[in-house]
Amino acid sequence: MQIFSTQKAESDLDELARFYAERDPRVALRLLAAIDKAREHLSHFPESGRPGRVDGTREWIVWGTPFILVYLIRNGSLRLLRVLHHARQWPPTI
């Protein structure tokens, strides 16, 4: 299944990459690799995420990281909506 990312999801990824790269570039690379691996998993098994907190969405916890991928499945493709840290306050809209 093809995966498309929203601008918010891309912004989330850019923000987390900058934040962690400033502190430890190796950690940033490890996190991004784990997120890429999770995206690859979801491209093959899109229904494996749990039902999301927002109607119609699904969530996938990125193993070994504090991040959750929030996504929709529509018209045979997966749309990555956000990449959120589990400890942050959940945004009112996705």
92 in a structural domain: no
Q: What is the pLDDT of residue 49?
A: 95
Q: What is the pLDDT of residue 93?
A: 74
93 in a structural domain: no
**Containing structural domain, residue 68:** 2-85
Q: How many domains does the chain have?
A: 1
Q: What is the pLDDT of residue 90?
A: 78
6 in a structural domain: yes
90 in a structural domain: no
Q: What is the pLDDT of residue 23?
A: 96
Residue 39: how many CB atoms within 10 A of its CB?
Answer: 18
Q: What is the pLDDT of residue 59?
A: 97
18 in a structural domain: yes
65 in a structural domain: yes
Sole residue written with tokens 């699904």? 58
Q: Tell me, what CATH number does 47's domain have?
A: 3.30.2310.20
pLDDT along the chain (94 residues), means of 10: 96 97 97 98 96 94 97 95 91 76
Q: What is the pLDDT of residue 74?
A: 93
pTM, two decimals, is 0.94
